[in-house]
Amino acid sequence: MRKLSSHIITDRNSIDPLLLPYAGMKKDELLLFCKRPFWVRSRIALLIAILSIWLFLFSNAITSVVHKKTCDADKWWKHSIIYEVYPRSFKDSNGDGVGDLKGIISKLDYFTYLGIDAIWLTPVYKSPMKDFGYDIANFVDIDPLFGDLDNFKDLVTEAHNRDFKIIMDFVPNHTSREHNWFNLSCQEIEPYTDYYVWKNGKLMKDGKIGPPNNWLSQFGGSAWTWNSQRSQFYYHAFLKEQPDLNYENPKVLEEMKNVLRFWLDLGVDGFRIDAVSNLHEDLRYLDEPTNDEGSISASKDEFNYLKHIYVLHQPKTITTIAEFVKVIRSYENVPSTIKAIMIEDYDKAQNLMVYFDESGADFPFNFDFVGADAKHLGGFGTMKLVDSWMKYMTAPTKSVAVANRHAPEGNDVKSNYSSRSSQIIDYSKRWPNWVTSNHDRHRFATRFGENMTDVFHMLILLLPGTPTVYYGDELGMTNIDVPPFTQTQDSFALNMGPERYKLYTRDPERSPMQWDSTPNAGFTTSNSPWLPVNPDYVKKNFQTEKDDKMSHLNIFRTLVKLRREKEFRNIYISYGAITKNIFSFVRKNAEGDKGYFIILNLGREPDYYPLEAHPSGLTPFGKPLKVLLTTPNNHSNGAISIGNQINMFQSTQSIQTKNFKGKDIKMIETLKDKKPAGQLGEKTEKDIELDHGLTTKRNLSTSLNNIDNNVDVYKGPWLESGQGLVLAWGSPLPDIL
Ligand code: GLC
């Protein structure tokens, strides 16, 4: 057009045939032409089209920036603590002995007090309660025992008003036998005929019809139950009252996606996906081989008797989860609608990584500590458990080990520090998490000892990653005694019979929350709570612990505050076992000028942190660290107290006997200034006095003002079994107490 408007076109052969009608026109004629409505409209249309394309590209760019941001560092669950509420046991509002939704709502202030911002509710759906809610008769309704949908909506609203998140339990593997789908499937009414895993039986030698194969239920006995209506067997990975859904049927997947949509529309903030390893079965339905691994001594009807190559972790599992994840993610638009997706699968860390990498879920629970007991812990045991998870968080996996140092006589010292720093870790893909207890495994305070409560909270709340805390663990709640078989509630245990039920029962870890010292711990006004309250509630409860500054509860709250500091939000971690009892780690800022050194005695005997094994560069050279927090301790010869200064000098040292003021004393010389390794600093007596004067009370006894031949020289901070210390350097230090 520009060409046309500036020239008179004379050569008709040289121009575009489309423009022929305008050839030979003069400029003003052409201008007149341009004003014709057709051309005006065309120009406006073109302008609108260009503007729309530009707007589209611009908004896409903005969305992807926002999305990227919300996908990575800003995801709320990365810095939250997931608090597991087992609704039956949390708070009963109507005096029937079973906890309910109104009870939970009445305790929302408790979460604020704790500093908790994400609550995971185990199932509250309509259920005959054979597996206490994991047997669901209606996925989109609340069981009357817990309340109704309005109560649930109130819970979500109230929680959101307080900035808490509500995470639901999603149970895709099975329904209750009382679900209408099962009823219709038994009658072979379409489209429900193939909603479950139905198989014909096998003719046995005795002429009877037996189950299609040898598959076992996780709760004991055959995984197949005969249905006389259909004259077929149905498969159930758990109780016979929990028939497995058939994920070979695409309609089942669609149904379950709609279940997710129902709860997402009500505003829930995420899901814990239950029993995912059971979702698919091998379609050849072959017998599984027996489990000859290690020392498995299960009897023939116990799940572990077989090696589960056909019923667990089938290849389609990840694809099915990815389908669920896609639905959940479609509800994420802005940071406040980001969802948390957690996977329940008990497997080795290396096998779980696929959930991070391929399912789209946020994390598979790390159950390593849930399966451990006191004999697995101590320094080296904890190191193993932490490292076996952390090494998979890195991509690529890389650890920087510090060479072993000499062990002092009589102690088993091994420094095996690993540094996992920003250069070698891509946490955006795999984010660590730590679980210590849940409704299926005994409470950690029972497995490790109640004196380990605080030290364990120091571990899981201060390591990088998302901790999951089981209700009441913050109070140091322990299991109740196993109730007699006749009073047993857990169907898994009942299924195993009176001889073996004690090995399997999950009742002990599900006892009611201990709120106060009134009857039944303030959990219910009923005289018969569904499970007995732990008799220790009289002393161990929220009310009494609230008033004690050094209670489990208050140490927990202090740690919750501390983990909000930015040094705990970054990705730097350096950790190691220094002795068979002591595990320690450092969290610090990128510059290293502010940080925290956490020393934990997770062993069964008192021990000291041997300075001679302290890795160089782990904490600042030559400066004492401040004791920011210690768990309560009863050292007879001098406790470490908050506010003390502790020397963690990198120690090129020699132990010498010196004569001072007429007495022989053993003495460690510490190289305080940066001299080449191996070269001892020349010290004056004043220097030595200073070195030791900076130490804790116990160590003060070694200071030169208090010479005693029988007292050791300062070897490092001394910790009782179950004692933990948080030391800090840099400023400003947080006011956490
Ligand atoms: C999960 C639940 C457990 C339940 C099982 C069967 O493992 O945590 O409590 O019994 O699934 O639904």
Q: What are 208-231's pLDDT values in tens digits? A: 999 999 999 999 999 999 999 999
- 134 by DSSP, 3-state: which? coil
Residue 188 lies in a domain: yes
Q: Are residues 713 and 594 in the same domain?
A: yes
CATH of the domain at 187: 3.90.400.10
Q: How much is the average pLDDT of 641-649? A: 85
Range with the poorest average pLDDT among 148-157, 621-630, 640-649: 640-649
CA of 171 to the centre of ligand 1 (A): 9
**Type of residue found at 664:** D
Look at residue 50 and give its three-state secondary structure: helix
Question: How long is the chain?
Answer: 737
Q: Of 24, 43, 70, which residue constitutes the final position of a domain?
A: 70
CA atoms in the 13 A half-sphere facing the CB of 536: 12
Asked if residue 696 and residue 611 are part of one domain, the reply reads yes
The answer, yes or no, to whether residue 512 has pLDDT greater than 80, is: yes
The CATH number for 720's domain is 2.60.40.1180
Tell me, yes or no, whether 204 and 87 share the same domain: no
Query: Do residues 188 and 305 both lie within one domain?
Result: yes
The model's pTM is: 0.83
> Do 298 and 230 share a structural domain?
yes
Residue 432 domain-assigned (yes or no): no
State whether 156 and 292 are in the same domain.
no
Identity of the amino acid at 312 = L
Range with the largest mean pLDDT of 445-459, 600-614, 699-713: 445-459
Q: Is residue 510 part of a domain?
A: no
Mean pLDDT of 520-525: 98
716/597 Cα distance (integer angstroms): 13
Handedness of CA 567, 569, 570, 572 (dihedral sign): positive
Tokens 């423009």 locate to 19
239 CA closest ligand 1 atom index? 6
Ligand 1 atom closest to 122 (CA)? 8
- For residue 162, the model assigns a pLDDT of 97
Q: Which tens digit of pLDDT belongs to each residue from 532-545? A: 999 999 999 999 99
Domain shared by 88 and 219, yes or no: no
CA of 226 to the centre of ligand 1 (A): 23
Distance from residue 274's CA to the centre of ligand 1 (Å): 7
Q: What tokens were used for 711?
A: 């007292």
What percentage of the chain reaches a pLDDT higher than 70? 79
Average pLDDT, whole number, for the chain? Answer: 84
Average pLDDT for residues 595-604, to the nearest whole number? 96
The answer on 701 and 597 residing in a single domain is yes
pLDDT of res. 429: 78
Tokens 């812990």 appear where?
377
Same domain, 309 and 319: no
Whether residue 702 sits in one domain with residue 620: yes
Q: Which of 86, 131, 173, 273 to mutate to test the pocket of ligand 1 (most atoms within 8 A of CB)?
A: 131
Pocket probe for ligand 1: among 217, 342, 440, 505, the residue whose CB has the most ligand atoms within 8 Å is 440
Specify the pLDDT at position 410. 33
Which residue type, as a one-letter code, is found at position 509?
A: E
At residue 695, the pLDDT reads 33
SS3 355: helix
Instruction: For the chain, give the longest Cα–Cα distance.
Output: 122
Specify the residue for token string 């500590």.
369
Cβ within 8 Å of residue 722, ≥6 positions away: 449, 451, 452, 453, 454, 455, 601, 602, 631
- Does 676 fall in a domain? yes
93 CA to centre of ligand 1 in angstroms: 25
If you search the block for the tokens 């009608």, which residue do you land on?
A: 21
Residue 598 pLDDT > 70, yes or no? Answer: yes
Q: Which residues of 504-516 are buried (b: 16+ CB within 10 A; e: fewer)?
A: bbbbbbbbbbbbb
**Looking at ligand 1, which residue's alpha carbon is closest to its atom 3?**
440
238, 367, 509: which to mutate for ligand 1, most atoms within 8 A of CB? 238
Q: How many domains does the chain have?
A: 4
Q: Are 164 and 153 in contact (CB under 8 A)?
A: no
Atom 4 of ligand 1: nearest residue by CA position: 134
Three-class SS of 500-529: HHHHHCCCHHHCCCCCCCCHHHHCCCCCCC
Poorest-pLDDT segment among 33-47, 153-167, 389-403, 686-700: 686-700
Structural domain contains residue 591:
yes
Question: Of 341, 365, 389, at which residue does a domain stop?
Answer: 365
C-alpha 77 – ligand 1 centre gap (Å): 23
Secondary structure class of 736 (helix, strand, coil)? coil
What residues line ligand 1, using a CB cutoff of 6 Å?
A: 131, 134, 171, 238, 274-275, 344, 439-440
Q: What is the pLDDT of residue 690?
A: 40
Of 270-279, 672-681, 727-736, which one has max mean pLDDT? 270-279
Judge whether 410 and 416 are in contact, CB under 8 Å.
Answer: no
Query: Using CA positions, which residue lies closest to atom 11 of ligand 1?
Result: 275
Active site residues: 274, 344
Residue 444: inside a domain: no
CA of 465 to the centre of ligand 1 (A): 24
Residues 87 and 60 in one domain: no
Torsion angles phi and psi, residue 208, rounded to 5: -85, 165
Cα separation, 453 vs 553, in Å, equals 10
Residues 626 and 654 in one domain: yes
Residue 22 in any domain: the answer is: yes
pLDDT in tens, 432-490: 999 999 999 999 999 999 999 999 999 999 999 999 999 999 999 999 999 999 999 99
- Is residue 443, in this structure, part of any structural domain at all? no
Banded model confidence at residue 681, pLDDT cuts 50, 70, 90: very low
Ligand 1 atom closest to the Cα of residue 237 is: 6
Domain hosting 339: range is: 79-173+249-279+315-365
- Amino acid identity for residue 720 in this structure: E
Q: Which residues pair with 726 in a beta bridge?
A: 598, 629
